[in-house]
Amino acid sequence: MSNGMKFLLFMGALGWGVIFYFAGISHSPATYRNCGERPERVNKHRKPRMIGGENVDVNVWPWQVSVLYQPNSSAPFSQVCGGAIIDDYWIMTAASCADVQNQSKLLIRAGSSRLDVDDEFTQKSQVARIIKHELFNPVTLRYSIALFEMKTPFVINEFVYPICVPDNAAADHKFDSCHITGYNAQPGGDVGVLQEANVFIMSRSLCNKPAYWNYTVSADMLCVGEFGGGVDGCETNLGGPLNCYIKMEQHYYLIGIRVRATSCGEPNRPNVYLKVYTLYYWIERETNITFR
C-alpha cells in the first residue's frame, strides 16, 4: 500500500466494502526516493592531500563517479571530470565536462575506491545523451550544469547509489556538515584514490572580495574551502559534488557541483560550486523525474 493511504471496512447491504482515504505523508520525499541515505560524517582531522582530506571507501560516497574520456582509439581512458549519480540512468556534472566532440568517447565509472582497480563492485556505462544547460556561459560559468543519460542503467546497491537532488527549500535548511569528494590526481599522494574533505560554506560577499574571486561569483554559486588553500578538488574533479547533510531530513543532498577548477589549492581561491537547488525545475524537466 502506498505511503499515507489508509482504508476503512464497512458492512453494507451488498456485503463488505472498502473506503480508501489519504492520511498525511509521514516520510520525507528523500526517503521515498531512496537517495542520500548514509550516516553523517564529521571529520576531526585533515591531511594535506589532493583535496585536503583522507582516503575513503566508495560505499561512504556511493554516488561519486569518474567521467573518463578517450581522445583516440589507441589512448587509454583517463579522468577528465567528477560527477554524481542522481538516478540509475542519470549523472550530474558541470557543463564544461560536456564539451566533447564525440560522446561515445566518454565512459562513466562508479562503485570504485580506486581509478586503477576494477573489482566486483565497479560499474561502467557509456553516455547515451548529454543535456547541457542552454544558458551556460563558459566565461562567467553561469548555468554550468550538464546531465548525462546512461546507455545502460547503474545497478543500485551499497556501492552505487544516488544522492538526493534538492529543490529551493534546501536554501532554508541548515547544512549540518558538507564534504567535497573526488579522486586524487596529484603526484606525491595516493593518485587515483577516492578522497573526502570536510568543508565550510562561505558568504558570497566575502568570497567576492577583490583579494579573492573579485566579484566573479554570481548569485547562483557558492564558495567552500579555506582561504589559506590546500582543500581543493583540482582540475580533474571539475563537476564533482558538494555533499551536504541535512539532519532534519537525515539524508545527503547534492547542494553543489564544482564549476571552477583553476588555481588549485592556492591561497585566497576557495572552491566555487553551482547551487544545484536553483536549477531544480530544469533538472526535473530535462530528466522527466520528480525528485521531491
Looking at residue 90, what is its pLDDT? 98
Q: Is 71 in the same domain as 139?
A: yes
Q: In this predicted structure, what is the pLDDT of residue 199?
A: 86
Residues 139 and 47 both lie in one domain? no
Q: Are 172 and 40 in a shared domain?
A: yes
Give yes or no: residues 129 and 227 share one domain: no
Q: Are residues 167 and 272 in the same domain?
A: yes
Residues 174 and 250 placed together within one structural domain of the fold? yes
- Whether residue 3 is contained in a domain is answered as no
Domain range for 190 is: 33-56+163-277
> 93 lies in a domain?
yes
Q: What are the grid coordinates assigned to 86, written together?
A: 542522481
* Residue 1 covered by a domain: no
Looking at the structure, tell me whether residues 86 and 177 fall in a common domain.
no
In a domain, 20, yes or no: no
Tell me how many domains the chain contains: 2
Alpha helices in the chain (DSSP H): 29-33, 204-207, 280-287
**CATH code of the domain covering residue 201:** 2.40.10.10
**The pLDDT of residue 174:** 81
User: Domain for residue 271, yes or no?
Assistant: yes
Q: Is 137 among the domain residues?
A: yes
Cβ–Cβ under 8 Å, residues 175 and 245:
yes
Sequence-distant (≥ 6) Cβ neighbours of residue 121 within 8 angstroms = 58, 111, 112, 157, 159, 160
Please choose, from the candidates 125, 120, 97, the residue with its C-alpha nearest in 3D space to the C-alpha of residue 109: 125
Q: What is the pLDDT of residue 190?
A: 63
Question: How far is it, in rounded angstroms, from Cα 55 to Cα 115?
Answer: 13
The CA–CA distances, whole Å, from 72 to 38, 69, 192, 273 equal: 38, 9, 21, 31
pLDDT score of 229: 59
Q: Is the domain of 155 the same as that of 170?
A: no
On whether residue 224 sits in a domain, the answer given is yes
Residue 51 lies in a domain: yes
Per-residue pLDDT of the chain (292 residues; tens, 9 = 90+): 434 444 444 445 555 554 443 333 333 333 336 899 998 987 654 444 455 568 899 999 999 999 999 988 888 888 999 999 999 999 999 999 998 878 889 999 999 999 988 989 999 999 999 999 999 999 999 999 999 999 999 999 999 999 999 998 887 888 889 999 998 766 555 668 899 988 889 889 999 999 889 999 999 999 987 666 556 556 568 999 999 999 888 999 999 999 987 666 677 788 899 999 999 999 999 999 999 7
Same domain, 89 and 141: yes
Chain centre to alpha carbon of residue 61: 10
Residues 86 and 176 in one domain: no
CA distances from 252 to 23, 86, 244 (A): 27, 12, 5
Query: Do 147 and 169 lie in a common domain?
Result: no
Is there a single domain that holds both residue 46 and residue 172? yes
